[in-house]
């Protein structure tokens, strides 16, 4: 450090005022304030606010989801949704042709084919639901037949809407019942059985007439075709998902069956991960007869959306469980696609379609579990049961089904199992 150059100190011409440093301090404070202010303003981003003001702020309005046959919904606070079974004789008297509107169309390109199209009577509702309601009230008071007819057509609109979600059913049992197949007594037993079970475990019930889905399958001849009629199971389930949007699981259990042990809680019995994991059949052929495609070895119970059972020959859809989330719904909707319904090479209707879907689409297969039939779909057997039978009902099983019955047999089988269930009443 040699010489350092610095200005020679001069005594100032005037002494600095005593408050000079104070002023500087204040100025510095001021600038600090200004900077803070600017930072806050920038942080609040007034430009963004003005931009968002100029942007179209209202998001697009889209129509609400609506039921299959009507743009309107009717809400109920009861978690047991079922048609008034006592209307069965009246509906039978009215007949299919009065319950829906059928029109026959001849296609110009194929004049030999007689195409029928079925529309729900909901299509002729007044646009204003309140006018329609008062109109129906008058009709209902006038005759029991119109009342049955109106209740029948309105079934599609009913959705569950509780006052609060505290007791929202976690599982809903879905059944389609046919007033042409069972007597009033039989129907009552079927419905009562589901409701008893749901009541014991705080589940919901969703029951509809098979005939209500005529507009979906679009012809009476399809309805009389046993295999085509099976599709109604899936449509009914889709309607149930709409009626109970917050339910986690839906169990479709067809009318030809009874829950024999109402003490079993379906959730603890099948649905919990640690319960489902050991009973999922892994590497099980989708088609038991020629098993080229098999269920995955390592699929996890947590990702299962669809739980099905098999008979000795094929997949069965008289009792299956589906999860009510976006993937579960998508699987069901893909399955119910019109092109599968119309495909002539599906001999067993939805059963064949599901077999096809699982064999061709690995994503859906990975979300599906096959469980032993006797868990939720034990079969009624007319002959004594052999040792090691995995299919037929043995006393103590959860449910019993008689899907292959002929008309009178069905009623008799139902009566038999009902008497087993309620020995006192018979």
User: Can you give the binding site for another protein, defined by CB under 8 A?
Assistant: 55-56, 59-60, 62-63, 65-69, 238, 241-242, 326-327, 329-331, 333-334, 337-340, 342-343, 345-346, 353, 356-357, 360-364
Instruction: Closer to another protein by CB, 82 or 341: give it.
Output: 341
Instruction: Closer to another protein by CB, 216 or 253: give it.
Output: 216
Provide, rounded to whole angstroms, the least separation between the CB of residue 159 and another protein.
11
Find residue 306's DSSP bridge partners. Answer: 322, 368
Provide, rounded to whole angstroms, the least separation between the CB of residue 138 and another protein.
28
Provide, rounded to whole angstroms, the least separation between the CB of residue 209 and another protein.
18
d(Cα 229, Cα 213) in Å, to the nearest integer? 9
Cβ burial 332-356 (10 Å sphere, 16+ → b, else e)? beebbeeebbeeeebebbbbbbbbb
Instruction: Closer to another protein by CB, 250 or 393: give it.
Output: 250
Structure tokens, 117: 């199209």
Provide, rounded to whole angstroms, the least separation between the CB of residue 67 and another protein.
6
Q: Of 242, 235, 251, 277, nearest to 371 (Cα)?
A: 277
SS (H, E, C) 268-297: HHHHCHHHHHHHCCCCCECCCCCCCCECCC
Instruction: Supply the angle between the helices 326-335 and 350-360 in degrees, to the nearest 10.
Output: 120
What letter would DSSP give residue 78?
-
Provide, rounded to whole angstroms, the least separation between the CB of residue 264 and another protein.
31
Instruction: Closer to another protein by CB, 103 or 425: give it.
Output: 103
Instruction: Closer to another protein by CB, 151 or 359: give it.
Output: 359
Instruction: Closer to another protein by CB, 9 or 326: give it.
Output: 326
Provide, rounded to whole angstroms, the least separation between the CB of residue 205 and another protein.
20
Find residue 96's DSSP bridge partners. Answer: none
Provide, rounded to whole angstroms, the least separation between the CB of residue 343 and another protein.
5
Instruction: Closer to another protein by CB, 50 or 143: give it.
Output: 50
Q: Is 400 helix (H, G, I), strand (E, B) or coil?
A: strand
Q: Of 392, 389, 387, nearest to 402 (Cα)?
A: 392
Provide, rounded to whole angstroms, the least separation between the CB of residue 354 and another protein.
12
Q: Of 348, 81, 59, 370, nearest to 205 (Cα)?
A: 81
Backbone phi, psi, residue 46, to 5°: -65, -30
Alpha helix (H) residue ranges in 45-128: 46-54, 88-94, 96-99
Instruction: Closer to another protein by CB, 157 or 392: give it.
Output: 157
Q: Of 102, 254, 100, 89, nearest to 180 (Cα)?
A: 89
Q: Is 130 helix (H, G, I), strand (E, B) or coil?
A: helix
């Amino acid at each position: 450090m040699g010489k350092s150059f610095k200005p020679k100190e001069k005594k100032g011409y005037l002494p600095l005022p005593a408050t000079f440093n104070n002023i500087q301090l204040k100025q510095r404070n001021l600038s600090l304030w200004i900077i803070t202010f600017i930072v806050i303003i920038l942080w609040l981003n007034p430009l963004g606010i003005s931009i968002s003001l100029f942007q179209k702020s209202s998001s697009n309005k889209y129509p609400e989801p609506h039921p299959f046959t009507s743009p309107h919904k009717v809400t109920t606070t009861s978690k047991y949704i079922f048609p008034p079974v006592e209307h069965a004789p009246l509906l039978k008297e009215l007949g299919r042709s009065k319950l829906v509107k059928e029109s026959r169309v001849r296609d110009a390109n194929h004049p030999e084919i007689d195409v029928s199209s079925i529309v729900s009577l909901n299509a002729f509702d007044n646009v204003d639901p309140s006018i329609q309601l008062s109109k129906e009230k008058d009709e209902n008071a006038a005759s029991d037949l119109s009342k049955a007819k109106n209740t029948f057509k309105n079934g599609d609109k009913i959705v569950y809407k509780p006052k609060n979600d505290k007791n929202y059913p976690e599982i809903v049992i879905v059944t389609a019942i046919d007033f042409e197949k069972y007597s009033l007594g039989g129907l009552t037993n079927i419905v009562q059985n589901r409701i008893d079970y749901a009541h014991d475990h705080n589940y919901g019930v969703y029951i509809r007439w098979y005939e209500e889905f005529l507009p979906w399958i679009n012809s009476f001849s399809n309805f009389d075709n046993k295999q085509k009629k099976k599709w109604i199971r899936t449509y009914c389930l889709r309607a149930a998902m709409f009626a109970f949007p917050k339910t986690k699981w839906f169990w479709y259990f067809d009318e030809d069956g009874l829950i024999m042990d109402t003490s079993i809680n379906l959730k603890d019995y099948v649905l919990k991960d640690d319960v489902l994991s050991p009973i999922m059949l892994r590497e099980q052929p989708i088609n038991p007869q020629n098993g080229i495609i098999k269920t995955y070895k390592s699929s996890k119970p947590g990702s299962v959306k669809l739980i099905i059972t098999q008979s000795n020959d094929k997949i069965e859809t008289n009792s299956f469980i589906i999860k009510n989330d976006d993937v579960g719904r998508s699987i069901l909707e893909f399955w119910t696609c019109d092109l599968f319904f119309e495909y002539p090479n599906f001999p067993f209707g939805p059963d064949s379609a599901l077999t096809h879907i699982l064999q061709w689409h690995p994503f859906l297969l990975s979300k599906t579990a096959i469980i032993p039939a006797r868990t939720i779909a034990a079969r009624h057997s007319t002959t004594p049961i052999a040792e090691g039978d995995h299919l037929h009902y043995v006393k103590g099983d959860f449910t019993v089904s008689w899907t292959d019955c002929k008309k009178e047999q069905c009623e008799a089988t139902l009566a038999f199992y009902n008497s087993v269930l309620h020995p006192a009443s018979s």
